[in-house]
Structure 1
Amino acid sequence: MAMNTTDVAAVRSRPMTAEEKKVILASSAGTIFEWYDFYLYGSLAAIIGAQFFTAFPEATRNVFALLAFAAGFIVRPFGALVFGAMGDLIGRKYTFLATILIMGASTFLVGLLPGYQSWGVAAPIILIVLRMAQGLALGGEYGGAAVYVAEHAPANQRGYFTAFIQTTATLGLLLSLIVILMVQGYVNGNYPDQPILDAAGLATSNPDGTPAMMKAFNAWGWRIPFLGSIFLLLISLYIRLQMNESPAFKKMKEEGSQSKAPLREAFGQWKNAKIALIALLGLTAGQAVVWYSGQFYALFFIQNVIKVDSFTANVLVAWSLILGTGGFLFFGALSDKIGRKPIILAGCLIAAITYFPVFELLTKTANPMLHAAHQTPVTVTVDPEDCSFQFNPTGTSKFTSSCDIAKASLSRLSVNSTTVEAAAGTVATVKIGDTEIASYDATKVTGDEAAAAKKAFDTAVNDALKGAGYPMVAADNTTVAKAEGFFDIFTGQKLTIVAILTYLIILVTMVYGPIAAMLVELFPTRIRYSGLSLPYHIGNGWFGGLLPATAFAISAQAGNIYAGLWYAIVVALMTVVIGAIFVPGGTHKKDIFSDANN
């Protein structure tokens, strides 16, 4: 005989049994492995970009590599629709099995996929297809995990227990970083450097005629973490097979109250669609940009903008994740007492207010020489009509005007500059201190003349920047942060960097710790999996997943390494305003087993 709503609520209010805790921890462990698979690409985006996008201009490789990373996020809402409907129709458990199989197989195949030199344009296309498969799987994973845990947890501890699911994304990233660091250290320490090949597969040379080389990890060692994920897949499958169906779904099935068309009910009826829209704009959009700014963009910024080597950057971010991850559980538990809404919106607001000074402090601490050089005035005088927005996601656009060439060159070197408008037809010039350098229009020169013009411009810019104090060669920059090993963080500089990054992670835990419980409480049981999955994955997949590529492009266009932060700040402030007005409070007191109360 099925229990009534009051009976179920009473059962859910008691402490969790050891078996229920085991089920929830097992669910969290499986989700950690799935996030590990997904984040491997993000952690190795620059290295993978060099392997698969060598046909594209060097200036656009980082953006294109990040877009391939974002491809996994673009399709996440579609995965939310497909697997959300499955979860509401056939159950949470079997949907979990499908998502982990797709994720694990896609990750393993990335490790096997030949590079551009072997398969040509097919290689990057297949890579992005595999990324999309990962995104589809993840689109079905999160909603199921959040619903599954919430429907097992005691009513007065939903925030705390669902916070374990919230830790899985960060722990998955941490696991990926640790595996990368271990493999990178072993491969580079035991195997010789490899020659750098051009798009035709031929060895390249440095300007002085010596062979251009890359570390063995960059050449082939990066594949090992992807191939090794097959073992995590087997473990995850075993874990998922031990799980039981959630009590709320079983109760609903026994009563015959399942939705026959969960997608139509969730998004075709305004009373439910309205909740999804409010959840997206008033919660998940702001949560997403704070989350990705604090984890992925921070890692990208350290490596590619302020020029800290990848090993050191991974070590510093890994330590911040270790130190900050407990915040998920703290803020999840706190939300059980004071509510979810005030904590999430406070995190968004604090992030919006502090991002600019925090990222500038990060630059000043991690690369003092670069920060000091930013005090030298650099201006780019251009005809505005000569300038393009230098975002090239397909790799097919060519930026050849004198303005584009000048701005692209400064952006690659992390130079802050000011743009001055000039009369129509003016050839762009770059002024560094007292030195003025004329750019060139690549459409008006060809062959040897074009190569000579490029070399002359690049040499003049590099010499002027070096004279202005810019660290043009890593070997000459003795001030940049450098870690020789995982535990080499105990200097004032590196501890300060870890503290800054940990602060960013704490903001992540504020917005992300309570979000699962909040979303579960907004939707009735019969459409809960579908209802919460779509706004979550649009927010995190589109607003969040596209953040690194968008921020990088904005900074390049604006001529300022911090300009890309405006994207996160504007979205976070939008969420604060919409959330404060439209998101209901007091959801932590709700009975999620009674659809009538939702």
Structure 2
Amino acid sequence: MSEDAGVLPKHHVATQSEKKVITASSLGTVFEWYDFYLYGLLATHISKVFFSGVNETTGFILALGAFAAGFAVRPFGALVFGRVGDLVGRKNTFLVTMGIMGLSTFAVGLLPGYESIGVAAPIILIFLRILQGLALGGEYGGAATYVAEHAPNNRRGLYTSFIQITATFGLFAALLVVIGIRTSMGEESFSAWGWRLPFLISILLLGVSLWIRMQLNESPVFQKMKEEGTTSKAPLTEAFGRWSNAKWVLIALFGAVTGQAVVWYTGQFYALFYLEKILKVDGAQANILIAIALLLGTPFFVLFGWLSDKIGRKYIILGGCALAALTYFPAFNALSKAANPALGTATINAPVTVTADPNECSVQFDPIGRNRFDSTSCDIAKAWLAKNGIDYRNVEAPAGTVATVQVGGASLMAPDPAEVSGEARAAAITAFQGELKTTLTAAGYPDKADPAGINKVMVVAILFYLVLLVTMVYGPIAAMLVELFPSRIRYTSMSLPYHLGNGWFGGFLPTTAFAMVAATGDVSYGLWYPVIVATLTVVIGLIFLPETFRRNIDD
């Protein structure tokens, strides 16, 4: 498709029907994100009810399934529902994805626990989670395509930007419902059975969302193709089996979406992880600070969507990626000083060093949180230091050397698993961790960030900046993806790169960054992951990604 495909359609002010399309599509997508986030917010209660009775091996497999449902299966949902959307229509397809998501979420609220039906409980839960992941994989492409194909040519960025704020609104909705129910009924009742209510309430939201969406008509672009008999008969083959289109899928993935994904996950998720795990800010306080930044930043999704209609999508998205790559290290360094200055002082006055045989130090990549990393003395020392956000330096030791940790002038030897096993090993590890914690406290390392010492205004300002970068890369991305691909295979073509980028490159960011921190001891080292990915996106995008905002997408 050329960059200027013929005469542009007539521009016009938004009609009532178009406003209804935006509202209905956005509300439906908010609902689906609400469903998706509930699992994460209530993971502790879900694990207790469904996973507590299984053995360690089975628990590992089931936890892997739950994680995979959240991120890994989304591209497969994009393939399945993208194909259906290009074959039978946009409207009916995202009605189906919404129904699957909503009913799966409602079923979690009714599902008996392990004590009632045994191992069938976690297996059914994983099946429901997989359905949710598949449905989410089909929802975004459908909503974005549907809205864009209703929009006038000069307002696609603005119209689709309302889809982009739905993930944030869905998170807020889930938080408000959970906090409201938890507060009103008390922690004991909530833990016993009240945690099910947010899942059960979703059936009401599902009913309202489905009713609203059912009032809409099919996309005019798809309807025209259907009437003319030009819809695709084999969307997957056309989208990915022919190089003429497959190359644009790859360019969209590596020249736009991967950078957008890591900037999004860094600004909204890794920043929260960094505050809680590295800087030791109280979880509730960290959530409030992030929430304030999100509230301040959310309007900018729409602003950058609107701006992309005026000056183009490409350079706004790549500009956000470039700013992220250039400023993440100073921004997170400033965040550390503002949120926990005592930790920085201790790091300077009593630096921590780990002396170990490098061959005994594993890469601590653990996406499902089930690996204890206790098979070597090096892993025992590094795992605890990394999980507690302690910055340390590595010193290479001869083969066979038992790892030691030096804090200022104090030195502690980690347990050697080759010498102890079973309960004795567990006791030795617990004793070592306790002694290490005492030594760090004596050296001035704070157990938690002092609330009185947090510069809240500065923290919110830095978090707002990180969210602003998110809005730059995410606000225009839906319009760009829609415009890159021809109408007959648009749903299929745009959904896959979006969910590969966000589900895999973005979804694995926190665990990848943590593994990098554990390997090096540098609490900022994990930022190299988003910095490198964002930089590659800028380079690839500048060379290969076309500007799309003047395209006619009716072809």
TM-score above 0.5 = yes
Match of 1:444 among 419, 439, 448: 419
Q: CA deviation at 1:41?
A: 2.7
What TM-score does the superposition give when structure 2 sets the normalisation length?
0.91
Q: CA deviation at 1:158?
A: 0.8
Q: CA deviation at 1:499?
A: 1.9
Counterpart in 1 of 2:207?
A: 234
Match of 1:262 among 235, 240, 252: 235
Counterpart in 2 of 1:374?
A: 347
Coordinate RMSD, CA, aligned? 2.8
What TM-score does the superposition give when structure 1 sets the normalisation length?
0.85
**Cα deviations by residue, 1:274-329 (Å, 9 ceiling, x for unpaired):** 11110000010110111111112222332333333332222222221211111111
Match of 1:409 among 362, 370, 384: 384
**Cα deviations by residue, 1:50-76 (Å, 9 ceiling, x for unpaired):** 666668999xx99x9798445322111
Q: Which amino acid aligns with 1:521?
A: E
Counterpart in 1 of 2:410?
A: 435
Mapped partners of 1:227, 1:267: distance in 2: 39
Q: CA deviation at 1:131?
A: 2.6
Match of 1:133 among 120, 131, 134: 131
Equivalent residues of 2:147, 2:159 under 8 A apart: yes
Q: CA deviation at 1:42?
A: 3.4
Counterpart in 2 of 1:354?
A: 327
**Cα deviations by residue, 1:511-557 (Å, 9 ceiling, x for unpaired):** 01011111111111111111111111111111111212222222223
Counterpart in 2 of 1:593?
A: 554
Mapped partners of 2:303, 2:456: distance in 1: 26
Counterpart in 2 of 1:208?
A: none
Equivalent residues of 1:265, 1:272 under 8 A apart: yes
Counterpart in 1 of 2:485?
A: 523
Counterpart in 2 of 1:302?
A: 275
Mapped partners of 1:535, 1:449: distance in 2: 50
Counterpart in 1 of 2:104?
A: 106
Q: 1:218 to 1:25 in 2, by over 3 A?
A: same
**Cα deviations by residue, 1:422-467 (Å, 9 ceiling, x for unpaired):** 0111110000111100011224213553344224312220110111
Q: Which amino acid aligns with 2:539?
A: V
Mapped partners of 1:396, 1:466: distance in 2: 27
Counterpart in 2 of 1:508?
A: 470
Equivalent residues of 2:346, 2:443 under 8 A apart: yes
Q: CA deviation at 1:385?
A: 1.4
Q: Give me the identity figure in percent.
A: 60
Q: CA deviation at 1:503?
A: 1.2
Mapped partners of 2:421, 2:537: distance in 1: 50
**Matched residue SS, 2:325:** helix
Q: Which runs of 4+ in 1 moved over 6 A?
A: 55-58, 64-67, 116-120
Q: Which amino acid aligns with 2:95?
A: L
Q: 1:435 to 1:67 in 2, by over 3 A?
A: farther
Q: Which amino acid aligns with 1:382?
A: A
Equivalent residues of 1:174, 1:321 under 8 A apart: no
Counterpart in 2 of 1:478?
A: 450
Q: 1:160 to 1:392 in 2, by over 3 A?
A: closer
Equivalent residues of 1:85, 1:263 under 8 A apart: yes
| Unaligned segments of structure 2, at least 5 residues | none
Counterpart in 1 of 2:542?
A: 580
Q: CA deviation at 1:470?
A: 1.7
**Matched residue SS, 1:155:** coil
1:496 pairs with 2:458: yes
Mapped partners of 2:437, 2:431: distance in 1: 10
Match of 1:21 among 19, 22, 35: 19
Comparing 128-137 with 362-371, greater Cα deviation is found at 362-371
**Cα deviations by residue, 1:196-247 (Å, 9 ceiling, x for unpaired):** xxxxxxxxxxxxxxxxxxxx65665544323322221111111221111111
Mapped partners of 2:84, 2:226: distance in 1: 14
**Matched residue SS, 1:156:** coil
What are the equivalent positions in structure 2 for 1:37-56 lying under 5 Å apart? 37-45=35-43, 48=46
Equivalent residues of 2:74, 2:503 under 8 A apart: yes
What are the equivalent positions in structure 2 for 1:257-406 lying under 5 Å apart? 257-375=230-348, 376-393=350-367, 395=370, 399-406=374-381
Q: 1:120 to 1:420 in 2, by over 3 A?
A: farther
Mapped partners of 1:465, 1:480: distance in 2: 21
Equivalent residues of 1:308, 1:480 under 8 A apart: no
Counterpart in 2 of 1:196?
A: none
Q: How many residues align?
A: 547
Mapped partners of 2:280, 2:181: distance in 1: 22
**Matched residue SS, 1:132:** helix
Q: Which amino acid aligns with 1:419?
A: N
1:154 pairs with 2:152: yes
Equivalent residues of 1:78, 1:136 under 8 A apart: yes
Mapped partners of 2:320, 2:64: distance in 1: 26
Q: 1:45 to 1:299 in 2, by over 3 A?
A: farther
**Matched residue SS, 1:569:** helix
Mapped partners of 1:68, 1:564: distance in 2: 24
**Matched residue SS, 1:538:** helix
**Cα deviations by residue, 1:181-202 (Å, 9 ceiling, x for unpaired):** 3334334xx345xxxxxxxxxx
Equivalent residues of 2:86, 2:492 under 8 A apart: yes
**Matched residue SS, 1:418:** strand
Q: CA deviation at 1:257?
A: 0.8
Q: Which amino acid aligns with 1:564?
A: G
Q: CA deviation at 1:396?
A: 6.3
Match of 1:420 among 395, 401, 405: 395
Equivalent residues of 1:150, 1:158 under 8 A apart: yes
Q: Which amino acid aligns with 2:96?
A: A
Equivalent residues of 1:45, 1:65 under 8 A apart: no
**Matched residue SS, 2:165:** helix
Equivalent residues of 2:373, 2:383 under 8 A apart: no
**Cα deviations by residue, 1:458-488 (Å, 9 ceiling, x for unpaired):** 222011011111223x5xx53467xxxxxxx
Equivalent residues of 1:369, 1:479 under 8 A apart: no
1:249 pairs with 2:210: no
Q: CA deviation at 1:150?
A: 0.7
Q: 1:311 to 1:266 in 2, by over 3 A?
A: same
Counterpart in 1 of 2:508?
A: 546
Counterpart in 2 of 1:164?
A: 162
**Matched residue SS, 1:436:** strand
Equivalent residues of 2:340, 2:450 under 8 A apart: no
Q: 1:178 to 1:65 in 2, by over 3 A?
A: farther
Q: Which amino acid aligns with 1:561?
A: V
Q: Which amino acid aligns with 1:568?
A: P
Q: Which amino acid aligns with 1:538?
A: L
Equivalent residues of 1:291, 1:512 under 8 A apart: yes
